[in-house]
Amino acid sequence: MPIAKFKAIGAEIKEARRRMGWSQEELGARLQISATHVSELEKGRKKPSKIVFGFLWNIFEDTALDILSKEDMKKGRKFLEE
């Protein structure tokens, strides 16, 4: 997955977090990761692990996945491994 896609996913995560009224610390606690890690995800500097992505899907009711194209979804898990 290109870096631009990580940045777009990060922006979706940030927007969803803000809609919930949560700080990065609060989201990090829910995901069992640090606030620093949340920040790195939101900036597109890190890609979410399969586990974190699954938690995001559940927490935001798949809002964080809105940015993925149909082609990305067809790849299934591969997009997290690229």
What's residue 72's pLDDT? 52
What's residue 58's pLDDT? 78
The reported pTM is: 0.73
| pLDDT one-digit tens code per residue, 21-71 | 999 999 999 999 999 999 999 999 998 888 888 788 778 765 545 555 445
Residue 79 lies in a domain: no
Residue 81 lies in a domain: no
- Please indicate whether residue 62 or residue 5 has the higher confidence score (pLDDT): 5
C-alpha dist (Å) from residue 25 to 8, 13, 78: 21, 14, 29
Q: What is the CATH classification number for the domain harbouring 38?
A: 1.10.260.40
Residue 40 lies in a domain: yes
68 torsion bin: left (phi>0), alpha (psi -120 to 50), beta (else): beta
